[in-house]
A and B are shown apart, each in its own frame.
Chain A
Amino acid sequence: MSQETESTGNPIANPDPSVLDRLRFARQDVAAKLPPLRGQRIAYLLVSPFFVLFGLFLAFPVVYTLYLSFFEWQSVGQGNLFWIDFGPFHVTVPRIAELQFVGLSNYTRLLGDGLFWQSMFNTTYILLIQVPIMIGLALALAVALNASFVRFKGLFRTAIALPISANIVAYSTVFLLLFNEQFGFVNYLLSQVGVSPIAWLTSEFWARKTIIAAVTWRWIGYNMIILLAGLQNVPQQLYEAAEIDGAGRWEKFRYVTLPQLRPVLLFVVVLSTIGTFKLFAEPYVITGGGPTNATITIVQYIYRQAFVHWNLGYASALTVIFVALVSVISIAQIRIGGDD
């Protein structure tokens, strides 16, 4: 973790308090709020495309999901519900499903659904370990690959980022080979140093770790790129000022890089949290949710309810709760992360 230091001598263990004050002042200066800007209308214009597109394409699916969560899906509908015929304007709206109104019973069922809570637990467990490790490594890599003395940055950055472009099927095949208990490469390496085989995929404890390793492997470069881009927006003058005041590497990282990077870091934390909550592909192809449901995630469970059991109403209720819960957590993260 290094910002380049060429000239400064006299590293000091405890920087003069005035250094910190100056840095804080400089930061405040950048972020200082000037009087509210003009142009409410322009702001609405700039954000409107999102809402137009959302209204056109996603509003119906979202409302439909909400609606469905109060029903039990019985069967596919037959024929048409109604039609409008007005010369060239002809619309028939099909009857898409036979539904039975069940009130809140999908929601009350969820409360007593052990597997739902198990999937909630699994996802949270994976999240709490995986997100800090991944972001820590991604941050370290971003800072390292931003240091001016490091050569071949482009190649290194690309190498770290490449795993995200690997197709999920190919990548799971390779992970299954690496982590197989009896024949896997990882256990082969471990056996060379006298470690007895580990049940990477078939013990509840290790299967979660394998999923964590796989997710981290795939997404580390993604987060590194975002952080790397964020680092470019840190004003060089702040480092120079810190150096003049004799700040060492750690002080510069702690008092310049971290505070300046805070908005982007917050973004990475929120995005990774949501991303891991939505984890689906990795456990789906690597462990299938097993062993004994130790790695089944929420979205995987919802998917199973919808596409294996055809419980579309119940799956919708699960989705509603899931979206509400994760939204609240994300917004709390943003609030706590000091976003204003």
Chain B
Amino acid sequence: MREQRRKDAVWMFLTYAFILTMVVVMLIPLYWMIVAATLPQQEFIEFPPRLIPGTAFLDNFAALQERMNYVLTIWNSVFIAVVYTVLSLLLCSMAGFAFAKYEFRFKEPLFYSILATLVLPIQLLVIPLFLMMSQVGWTDTFRAIILPWLANPIGIFLMRQNMRSIPDALLESARMDGASELQIFYRIALPAMRSSLAALAIILFLFQWDLFLYPLVILEDPGNYTIPVALAGLEGTQRIYYDQIMVATTLAIIPMAILFLVLQKQFVSGILAGSLKE
């Protein structure tokens, strides 16, 4: 018994040591960005670089806000990403459910063809996509940014993988109780997938949040810019506005941090974990 307890203590210590080391490694570059956001440009480019925060955060932010309406930019990014995430969550889990839990003809080739679209490099699709969007007059609209990527192959793939762990017996018993297939989907499958949906929400949100080249080409009015598009404007040839870039990046981390904090709470054992009958 005592032997076991000592082993447990050592194990706990090692686990914490590992977690803390990783957290520190992950946060050093981030910390530096945040420090840079608090320094005037001249101090940031001094050598060796400063590691203690300065007091210029608000000045840097004011300079940024004067150049562009960055608050609006964040709002655009959040709005687009949220709308996209909600719609895409639904479509991806629908398709994922079908691939995980139904047998139908052409199931494999259909799935693999979806997978192949995951490989497409957006960089090369931009020219024809822009051409299409300008023909239908959708340039400079949010729908042009959201719709083409709505059925996200990553999401379909992830939900397919996770939904396979839903026991067929569970679905079958619901059918016996007279539930329709759609009811089974949203009453049983979706609630069972709470943690996976939370992870997928983060993935989808991030996908839109990071999109650069495509929105750069589609969006015209600076009032419609998303964060990466707006930030690209701070990189000139003769001057790179490190101070403003760092402030903008620091602020852009906040919505993501909130999203993580909220969604990671969903990472609790769902009903599946307890659904297995002995």
Q: Which residues of A come within 8 Å of B, CB atoms?
A: 1-2, 5, 9, 11, 26, 29-34, 36-40, 42-44, 46-47, 49-51, 53-54, 56-58, 60-62, 64-65, 93, 96, 137, 140-141, 144-147, 149-150, 153-154, 156-171, 173-175, 177-178, 183, 185, 188, 217, 220-222, 225-226, 228-230, 232-238, 249, 260, 263-264, 266-267, 270-271, 274, 277-278, 280-281, 299, 302-303, 306, 312, 315-316, 319, 322-323, 326-327, 330-331, 334
Contacts and interface: CB of A to CB of B under 8 A. Distances in A.
Which 9 A-B pairs have CB atoms at the shortest separation, nearest pair first? A165-B256, A229-B199, A50-B151, A57-B148, A170-B249, A46-B98, A43-B102, A232-B195, A61-B128
Given A185-B49, A264-B161, A299-B123, A40 B235 contact: no
Given A43-B104, A49-B91, A222 B203 contact: yes
A267 to B, nearest CB: 4
B29 A49 contact: no
Given A173-B242, A174-B32, A232-B196, 15 more contacts: A29-B276, A37-B168, A39-B181, A46-B102, A50-B91, A56-B147, A58-B148, A141-B19, A162-B26, A162-B30, A171-B249, A232-B269, A233-B273, A235-B272, A302-B121
Interface residues of B, number: 117
A221 B123 CA distance: 25
B61 to A, nearest CB: 14
A84 to B, nearest CB: 13
Contact of B128 (A26, A47, A60): A60
A229 B157 contact: no
Given A53-B148, A168-B228, A177-B32, A61 B256 contact: no
Nearest to A49: B91
A31 B169 CA distance: 10
Contacts of A146: 267
Given A54-B151, A60-B132, A327-B115, A162 B253 contact: yes
A37 B98 contact: no
A213 to B, nearest CB: 10
Contacts of A38: 175, 181
Nearest to B169: A34
Contact of A330 (B16, B119, B210): B119
Given A57-B148, A62-B120, A236-B273, A42 B102 contact: yes
A260 B6 CA distance: 29
A166 B30 contact: yes
Contacts of A330: 115-116, 118-119
Contacts, number: 329
A31 to B, nearest CB: 7
Contacts of B175: 38
B257 interface: yes
B273 A235 contact: yes
Given A271-B157, A316-B124, A42 B181 contact: yes
A32 B169 CA distance: 9
A19 to B, nearest CB: 16
B260 interface: yes
A166 B115 contact: no
Contacts of A229: 162, 195-196, 198-199, 267
A322 to B, nearest CB: 7
Contacts of B91: 49-50, 53
A306 B199 contact: no
Given A165-B252, A274-B119, A303-B123, A183 B26 contact: no
A225 B36 CA distance: 28
B99 to A, nearest CB: 7
A22 to B, nearest CB: 11
Nearest to A32: B168
Nearest to B90: A49
B274 interface: yes
Contacts of B117: 54, 58, 62
A237 B276 contact: yes
B181, B198, B267, B268, most chain A CB atoms within 10 A: B267
Nearest to B123: A303
B119 A167 contact: no
A289 B55 CA distance: 37
A232 B270 contact: yes
A64 B128 contact: yes
27 contacts: A29-B276, A37-B101, A40-B105, A42-B182, A46-B97, A49-B95, A50-B114, A58-B117, A58-B125, A58-B129, A65-B128, A93-B135, A163-B29, A170-B248, A173-B240, A230-B161, A230-B195, A233-B195, A233-B270, A235-B273, A271-B154, A281-B212, A306-B123, A306-B124, A316-B124, A319-B124, A323-B121
